[in-house]
Amino acid sequence: MADREFRSGFVCFVGRPNTGKSTLTNALVGQKIAITSSRPQTTRHTIRGIVHRDHAQLILVDTPGLHRPRTLLGQRLNDLVRDTYSEVDVIALCVPADEKIGPGDKWIVQQIKQMAPKTTVLGVVTKIDKVGRDQVAEQLLALSQLLGPEADVVPVSAVKGEQVEVLVDVIASKMPEGPAFYPDGELTDEPEETLMAELIREAALEGVRDELPHSLAVVIEEVLPYEEREDMLDVHAILYVERPSQKSIIIGKGGSRLKEVGTNARHQIEHILGTRIYLNLHVKVAKDWQRDPKQLGKLGF
């Protein structure tokens, strides 16, 4: 009986930038997989986190935020989102407890209904640790009205771990019955190079207050055994920016900032790979790469 009731499927968290989607992904998976940043538009790749429970397996598909595109890159990111919406079993709209529901949220709901009318949608009120109970209740009601009476709405705090298991159970209940897609213990099906590039990108964006997010792409050139030590890997990565001024921001005075980026990224990568690495970072300027189809292709978009 128990075997038959096992459920598995794909879920995608959507919402305006900074609504806590990546933090929630990491809380559900139990390890850092999606990059988290206080900057909008930082997630570029469909990184899947895999949630293993006794009764279910949820595959989390993390998409770039859906937005009104201004560049060719923006258009390609939106196409990626559209494909994802129609292929998942559940779409979970994330709205933070401490921000009023606005036109951006309404626009996303409208897009979901157009692109994936048959997909089950549920609401998640995130960051409930930031406000009082009354405000959480108000937001639950507002989100419920936005999504319609048939949609479940769950309040969570990914940072505090509150209600995370409740959310897992609600999502699992919407999944089709069926066996697990991935073996136990696997946390993501992304290639290791993609995870490395995302972690380097996150470290480079940390604390930078100008227009870097869209303009920064990271490419892993090669991963080799480290010559001097068998238990280490030698990772070579290039950080591409659009302008020389951005290059100097990333490198910092006397290379100090790039060194810091390297140290932070190395710790994160070693944690995920479970092996020591030697990280070589180089910064290059690729003029206006976001608008150039050839360069976009070269950088993996």
Q: Which residues are annotated as a binding site?
A: 15-22, 62-66, 126-129
Judge residue 63's burial from the number of C-beta atoms within 10 Å of its C-beta, 0-12 exposed, 13-18 middle, 19 or more buried.
buried
Can you tell me which residue has the tokens 């979970």? 92
Task: Report the C-alpha gap between 79 and 66 in whole angstroms.
Answer: 9
Which residues 6+ apart lie within 8 Å of 62 measured at CB? 12, 13, 21, 22, 25, 34, 43, 46, 47, 48, 49
Query: At CA 108, angle to CA 106 and CA 109, rounded to 5?
Result: 65
Task: Report the C-alpha gap between 147 and 130 in whole angstroms.
Answer: 23
How would DSSP label each residue in 160-208? TTBTHHHHHHHHHHTSPB---SS-TT----S-HHHHHHHHHHHHHHTT-
Annotated binding residues for GTP:
15-22, 62-66, 126-129
